Amino acid sequence: MKIIKRSGEEAVFDITKITGAIMKANREVESDHRLSVEQVQRIAAKVEKDCESAIRAMNVEEIQDLVEEGIMEEGAFQVARLYITYRYKRQLVRQSNTTDGQIMTIIESQNEEAKQENSNKNPLLASTQRDYMAGEVSKDITKRVLLAPEVWDAHEKGLIHFHDADYFAQHIHNCCLVNLDDMLQNGTVISDTKIDKPNSFSVACTVASQIIAQVASSQYGGQSISAYHLSKFVKNSREKFTKEVKREFEKSGIEASDEQIKEVAEDRVLKDIEKGVQTIQYQVVTLMTTNGQAPFITVFMYLDEAEEGQDREDLALVIRAILNQRILGVKNEQGVYITPAFPKLIYVLDEDNIYEDSKYYDITELAAKCTAKRMVPDYISAKVMKELKQGNVYTCMGCRSFLTPDRFTAAGAGNIANAQNYEEGKQKYYGRFNQGVVTINLVDIACTSNGDVEEFWKVFDDRLELCYKGLMARHNRLMGTKADIAPILWQHGALARLGKGETIDKLLVGGYSTISLGYAGLYECVKYMTGKSHTDESAKQFALDVMQHLNDACAKWKEKENIDFSVYGTPLESTTYKFAKCLQKRFGIIPGVTDKNYITNSYHIHVTEEVDAFTKLSFESQFQKLSPGGAISYVEVPDMKDNIPAVLAVMRHIYDNIMYAELNTKSDYCSECGYDGEISVITDDDGKLIWECPNCGNRNQQTMSVARRTCGYIGTQFWNQGRTQEIKERVLHL
């Protein structure tokens, strides 16, 4: 049986340490107040039994709580007092330096929490360890200096989650939409080197790859770029190759018609597109940013972003190339093609590509094949998005965080970011960003209220006030930040072209950027308060009321601060496990509510609930409308490579019913035996869930590739115990 030490290191449960600690306190009281040996053994045995029956590895603090309870139950109050005093003194010693132990276990690759914190970070790498080490220092400063004690205390208890505390000490933000068009068309500067406008598509892709890496190293969240901003350079390639081919024919003394020249040049254009797309794919997965991972990058593919005519045809060529490259995949160490995590792809469904007689339906079919094999692209319905975003269609910032519709243009704010591609009166999205996230634990609100509805809303408001304080701390941390801190972002076009020494303050208010109120566990919250899933018609209205309450709070804060607060369906990669552990500690095991090592993401139907794909997407669309700051729905499906018509049917349903959704297909590989089917076996290994190849029984997590969608992005390492249990318990929707 395993336990988790304070440093995060995994260790084997040792009952002698419990008996030893009790006996130490026991010896310091008068003999007539001491516990007998039998009582000490009884307490230790009960603690061991409680740890064995737990549905996860207990940490040291929880075990010491059990020891205290055991001593009290035996009536040995003086022993208990000494034991508690000893714990308190040790806590004071630890607080005098809160980072050394954590950092040492990170360096030695012994920190289980770090190992499972991010499924796209390899904790064995020096670069990742360096990022984690810096993160421990940042968290310590945040805890002791930067954040209000009541906010940090709520974060520690799992009442809320103050995201990315490991980066909060720095003046950096969350995620963004890169204004790649401005940077490529008007030039930029990378590492003090002037980069002029590219002369071909493939060169534009190379420059874009460098921009992506620089942006990722200057923030801590995801970023998105538009395929259209790249496809504009297909024209440059065409002009370049047409001249080349013409010269070659003339030099060879061969007479060629314009049509023949065009045919040869177009063949070179297609090869240039293929080369450029491959460059982005391989650059992104092989680049290592300063935070020890590949850039969290999304490529947005929207045909109608380009004007009808040659511009749109060129974009169509690029989208086809992107999809074909992703279908191929990338080679692993053994030379086998596997599914890469990045870039994430988003394909927009619209009238000109959704029906069989649509002009670009062939691209939609290609997208369906790509999803079936590689899990991407994900899908945005232009029809539904226009209804929800004031007629606009634009990408999210990374996996799901959406900007609020542009309100500053109509207010006459003008070109506040000094973008060189600014168009008067046109609503602006590229070049905008998100300031950060604080998430509220809806399950804890319900459990704290003890099922009393009036108390529920009171506790809800108290917790929202804590979130507001946390979000304003994020905003105020960015206020006064000078553009010099990240030139690629603030001076050279990714987000703005501000002057040296100029602050970013004007970009933090008035709706230019957003700030996110996250939420988690709507299902469990409703289950506790009503006894039913929110899919039950009698419980659904309560769930909708909860969502509306979040939106009302954001509207109130927006009015007060002139900042675009927005409700955001938190991805919860590691937070799901943290919240679950905190709930179990505070309220014990409540069937259907706290009896899992995870809580449900945002508004989603519980992963174990039997429901078909079409019903799930239609139901969740009601809640996606109330999550304007970001949300994504998914359906869990089996291997769909031989059932593309079913994938297309789901895509058509997405187009008609929900703004943003994805299909969770499977894409795995075992290096030990070459098995490339679904690795579906998750087994218990001495209290720890691990993956096992169903073909050869391989349990070495380093010699298998398992790709799963866990938080909008695809994860390709492995996950914490809570998320692993959630993946194991998912039911199929198709």
Concatenating the DSSP letter of every residue in 434-461 gives: EEEEEEEEHHHHHHHHTT-HHHHHHHHH
The SS3 call for residue 194 is strand
Q: Count other Cβ atoms within 10 Å, centred on residue 603.
A: 27
Distance CA 419, CA 182 (A): 7
pLDDT of residue 119: 47
Report CA torsion sign: 716, 717, 718, 720: negative
Catalogue the E-assigned strands of 615-680.
Answer: 633-636, 660-664, 667-670
pLDDT of residue 574: 82
Beta strand ranges found along 496-625 (DSSP E): 514-520, 564-569
| pLDDT tens digits, 468-515 | 999 999 999 999 999 999 999 999 999 999 999 999 999 999 999 999
Q: What is the pLDDT of residue 141?
A: 87
By 3-state DSSP, what share of the chain in percent is helix, strand and coil, each rounded to 5?
50, 15, 40
DSSP states of 271-321 as a string?
HHHHHHHHHHHHHHHH---TTSS---EEEEE-GGGSPTTHHHHHHHHHHHH
Q: How far apart are CA 422 and CA 410, in angstroms?
A: 14
In sequence order, the 6+-apart residues with CB closer than 8 A to the CB of 209 are 279, 280, 283, 284, 287
User: How confident is the model over 166-210, as pLDDT tens digits?
Assistant: 889 999 999 999 999 999 999 999 989 999 999 999 999 999 999
pLDDT at position 50, please? 87
Residue 305 corresponds to which amino acid? E
- What was the pLDDT predicted at 591? 95
Contact 433, 173 (CB under 8 A): yes
- Tokens in use for 173? 């933000």
The C-alpha atoms of residue 7 and residue 573 are separated, in whole angstroms, by: 21
| Contact (CB, 8 A) for 208 and 281 | no
Residue numbers annotated as active site: 174-175, 397, 399, 401, 434, 568, 573, 712
Q: How far apart are CA 289 and CA 362, in angstroms?
A: 36
- Residue 130 has a pLDDT of 67
Convert the pLDDT of each residue in 668-699 to its tens digit.
Answer: 888 899 888 888 888 888 777 888 999 999 99
**Count of CB atoms within 10 A of residue 718's CB?**
18
Average pLDDT per consecutive 10 residues, the chain (734 residues; last block may be shorter)? 73 87 87 87 90 80 87 86 72 55 55 52 63 75 92 96 92 97 97 95 97 94 96 98 95 93 96 97 80 84 98 98 96 86 94 98 98 96 97 94 96 96 95 98 98 98 98 97 97 98 98 98 98 98 98 98 97 88 94 95 96 98 98 93 96 98 88 86 82 92 82 69 83 89
Taking only Cα atoms into account, the Rg of the chain, rounded to an integer number of angstroms, comes to: 27
Q: Return the CATH number of the domain spanning residue range 176-388.
A: 3.20.70.20
What pLDDT was estimated at residue 68?
Answer: 87
Count H helices and E strands in the chain, helices first. Answer: 25, 23
What gap in Å lies between CA 559 and CA 565, rounded to an integer?
Answer: 10
Least Cα distance to 356 among 669, 652, 135, 107 occurs for: 652
Please give the structure tokens belonging to residue 710. Answer: 């866990």
Query: Which residue matches tokens 């390639």?
Result: 237
Token pair 């620089």 is at which residue?
214
Which uninterrupted H or E stretch holds 724?
helix 721-729
Q: In whole angstroms, give the CA distance from residue 375 to residue 676.
A: 15
Which own/partner contact pairs does 87-96 have at CB distance under 8 Å and 24+ positions apart?
94/6
Pairing between β-strand 330-331 and β-strand 514-520 as defined by DSSP bridges:
unpaired
